[in-house]
Amino acid sequence: MTESTNTSPETAPSTSALPPGFALLAEDPRLGPSMAASLEQVEVRLREAVANSDPFADTTSRHLVEAGGKRIRPLLTLLASHLGAEDAPDKVIQSAVVVELTHLATLYHDDVMDEAPYRRGAPTAHEIWGNSVAVLTGDLIFARASSLVSALGGPALAIQAHTFERLCLGQLHETVGPAEGQDPLEHYLSVIADKTGSLIAASGQFGALFSGAGQDVIDIMVEYGEKVGIAFQLADDVIDVTGVQVKSGKTPGTDLREGVPTLPVLLLRRAAAGGDSDAAAVLELVERDLSSDEALAEAVAALRSSPVTEQSWEVARSWSEDAVAALAPLPDSVVKEALAAFARAVVNREV
């Protein structure tokens, strides 16, 4: 998607809403305003997509849209759309809405399965209306995403179907756990590749596809997106034990309390199994009853000071740098710089 030539600096939409990693776009007098204007269109269409003539369905469907979010997936679609020479802005905007709707739908389902009380600082849908309503609302939003993608043609439908399959398989594999004899860390990485990496990969894939980019560029965005998604989730894992109260309303140690096998815990178990007595002592704190705030705080503090926390950061950074390396064949441009900056920004954040 080529940059708009009709937006002057005086009338350009604000680029201040662009998240870390995309900040350098604000310095580009054409690409920055173009991205900001497109993102505004995505936001409008998101609200149109979830609107429903049924008042109750309308309320539940708007719940997470109105809670906000960084809109990372639509941003990647918009940014990738500047990698080709064709100008298909409507399809780019529509596909950006599709990936965000798909993401929002998964959040309704994830929160039910995780019994999460908060999402983006607000009570989760299942806390307000119950599990059945939350799951059905997620299904309804998936249906809206499917309706929108159906107008984008066969290739887009294939991308969406493949991504949806991986999202479901990732959740299924997370639920049942690793197979007998399977390395838990290998299993976990495959789960987050499906649950997080697949949709971020699809986001870049859509943008490149509808800009008329070659298959080589589309493949680069798929590889890049998957690795960025894994890096993003691994960073979240570490933030769970190192961050202060986060913007999502999730307090440090939430994953520990819920028994979620995140990267630091998996590395801790590996170290303890290898005979590391210090790791074994921390593991004992982590795996005991963490229902009290005192026990949770002690476990968080112990894990935070353990070497496995820094090791986890190193693993996350490694995936981030692998994502940057995937961009190497692309010609130098502001778009390439922004993609690289974003990949690094996902592991250099506190919330």
- For a pLDDT cut of 90, what percent of the chain falls above it? 70
Domain boundaries, the chain: 26-345
| pLDDT tens figures, 258-271 | 888 899 999 999 99
| pLDDT value at residue 6 | 36
Burial group, residue 239, by CB count within 10 angstroms (0-12, 13-18, 19+): buried
Q: Which two tokens stand for residue 34?
A: 């173009």
Is residue 22 predicted with pLDDT exceeding 80?
A: no
Q: What is the pLDDT of residues 224-244, one digit of tens each?
A: 999 999 999 999 999 988 875
Span 281-296, average pLDDT:
94
Tell me how far CA of residue 56 lies from CA of 9, 59, 129, 202, 265, in angstroms.
42, 5, 10, 31, 41
Q: What is the CATH number of domain 26-345?
A: 1.10.600.10
7-21, 56-70, 163-177 — most confident range:
163-177
- The 10s digit of each residue's pLDDT in 197-210 is 999 999 999 999 99
pLDDT at 156 (0 to 100) = 97
Q: Which two tokens stand for residue 123?
A: 């009570």
Task: Decide if pLDDT at 20 tops 70.
Answer: no
pLDDT category at 7 given cuts 50, 70, 90 is very low
- Residues whose CB is less than 8 angstroms from the CB of residue 335 and which lie 6 or more positions away in sequence, other chains included: 31, 79, 80, 82, 83
Mean pLDDT taken over the chain: 88
Q: Please give the average per-residue pLDDT across 284-311, as a whole number.
A: 94
The predicted pLDDT at position 4 comes to: 36
Q: How confident is the model at residue 16 (pLDDT cuts 50, 70, 90)?
A: low
pLDDT at 73: 94
